[in-house]
Amino acid sequence: MANIRRSLYINFFASTGGTLIQFAVSLVLARMLSPSDIGVYSMTIVLINIAHVFQDFGIGSYLQREKDLTQEKLRAAMGVFFTTSWLMAAAIYASSDWFGRWFNEPQMAPVMKILAICFALIPFASTTHSLLTREFAATKQAWVSIISTVVSAVTCLGLAHLGFGTASMAWANLANIVTCCLAYIPLRPEYLPWLPSLRHWRRVLHFGIGSLLTNCLAATNHSIPDILLGKLGNATLVGFFSRANSTVTIFFHIAGSTANYGSESYLAQAHHRGECVGELLNKATTLLTGIAWTAFALTYVFSKEIIIVLYGEKWLPSVPAMDGLLVACAVGTIFNYSPAAMSAIGKPHLAALPVATTLLSRIAFALALFDGSIWSFSWIICAATIVATPVLIIQHRIYFHHGFATMLAALWPSAAVALICMTGAAILKMSLPASLAPMSVLLVLFLPLACLWYCALRMTGHPLTAEIHGIAARFRPAVVHGQKQHW
């Protein structure tokens, strides 16, 4: 547990630094590129994300949860990974022109061809990354993440400045992959063989097929909003919706990597030891919602200010989409660890049912209820998320012995904290002069709201309070020691 906590701290600071760089890049790009340029890339990347599922084929999950990794299993996993990656790279490159014509967006074709090259290179880095995650070697991963993020940012902004438009983001993605491949070479575990093999591939394939169905549906479900909006609307609507979605998920951009780091490996190891996965899920979800739900509540109160500060006033049409997306994210956070838990117990296919329910609901609701506005589209996404929750509740009770009543009992402190913070934020916002700049509003209220959040945690007896005190206790000796050295 100490090793895991240390890895989580390292991952948090590394991912937060990387996220800040990415946010800075997105802010500059929002002013350098048009909504249409960003919309075209969003439409392209959703197709690439679907292809990623077939390329990965669940190999990353297999390497993290397999109890005994022998040389034969590692070589077989690498062989399957290289095969699927190179096949998908060829398929993406060959189909790029057709997708450009189908969406009536010619700029998509060259972007897809650049991203196809990434597929051919990913296996050289991804295998090492998965094994380091299995070992909770966050320090090594942090260095690679920081270096690759900086290289990607410099490439993206430099090419955008030179007029590459949408393609600048694709070239930055390729620069990121190349950097990771080179940086992971000296960090390879000693037991990782250099040459792949297709012998003993059946075990890998068996697990991969179960993961493939779930991951394919999940990627399609994640991508379908942009695809539907691009087809039913236009690239500009996709651009606005993409910015709304990015703003709503700021919390997961900042802390998502840490919140999910090593979760599958940890749950798998607990399952192998015979521990109750449901109890672990309950504790993890309570801690996560204690932060995430408050973040969503504050994003709702300051939605307009956040959009202006991050992207500028030309992106204000994104604001109407945020309400529905915030509710959807709040519901989805309750089941954030479900896919990892299902994979950890060796049943990755179980996650396919709730994802399929959400996906079909999104398509049906969009075709029946979309009125041409991103406001209606956001509530369509929200309704589809809610429709799938009964399926997840039933699965938790059957496979994890995690009852709905137990879940609600654990979640009520998080809901109370979020409500207290949202009410306090609204009152404080109304007390400020209307002429105050959006950036000033956020800066002035940051410290009072942070204090209010901590007080709300204390009042509700939220388990997160003990975690905060534990972190503070670890830092206090270091601070005292530094002061003594200074004197």
Band the pLDDT of 479: cuts 50, 70, 90. very low
Name the 3-class secondary structure at 233: coil
User: For 98-115, how does the pLDDT look when each residue is reduced to its tens digit (9 = 90+)?
Assistant: 888 887 788 888 888 998
User: Which of these ranges, 193-202, 304-313, 321-330, 444-453, has the smallest mean pLDDT?
Assistant: 193-202
Q: Please choose, from the candidates 182, 153, 174, 197, the residue with its C-alpha nearest in 3D space to the C-alpha of residue 23.
A: 153
Q: Residues 37-75, buried b or exposed e (16+ Cβ, 10 A)?
A: bbbbbbbbbbbbebbbbbbbbbbbbbbbbbeebeeebbb
Give dist(CA 275, CA 279) in Å, integer: 9
Its pTM surpasses 0.75: no
Q: What share of the chain is helix, strand, coil (3-state, %, to 5)?
A: 85, 0, 15
Q: Do 425 and 301 contact (CB within 8 A), yes or no?
A: yes
- Within 8 A by CB and 6+ apart from 362, the residues are 221, 224, 225, 228, 380, 381, 384
Q: Please, what is the end-to-end C-alpha distance for the chain in angstroms?
A: 35
Q: Residues 332-364, buried b or exposed e (16+ Cβ, 10 A)?
A: bbbbbbbbbbbbbbbebbbbbbbbbbbbbbbbe
Q: Do 227 and 237 contact (CB within 8 A), yes or no?
A: no
Q: Give the residue extent of every domain in the chain.
A: 1-213, 233-487
Q: Is the pLDDT of residue 444 over 90?
A: yes
Distances (CA, A) of 230 to 95, 186, 209: 18, 43, 30
Place of tokens 């739900």: 293
Q: Please choose, from the candidates 137, 87, 93, the residue with its C-alpha nearest in 3D space to the C-alpha of residue 113.
A: 93
Give dist(CA 39, CA 140) in Å, integer: 35
| Amino acid of residue 18 | G
Band the pLDDT of 313: cuts 50, 70, 90. confident
Cβ atoms < 10 Å from Cβ of 284 = 19
More confident residue, 149 or 1: 149
Distances (CA, A) of 321 to 111, 224, 374, 379: 27, 16, 5, 8
User: For 152-164, how does the pLDDT look when each residue is reduced to its tens digit (9 = 90+)?
Assistant: 899 989 988 888 8
Q: What are phi and psi of 200, to 5 degrees?
A: 60, 35
What is the average pLDDT across 362-385?
Answer: 91
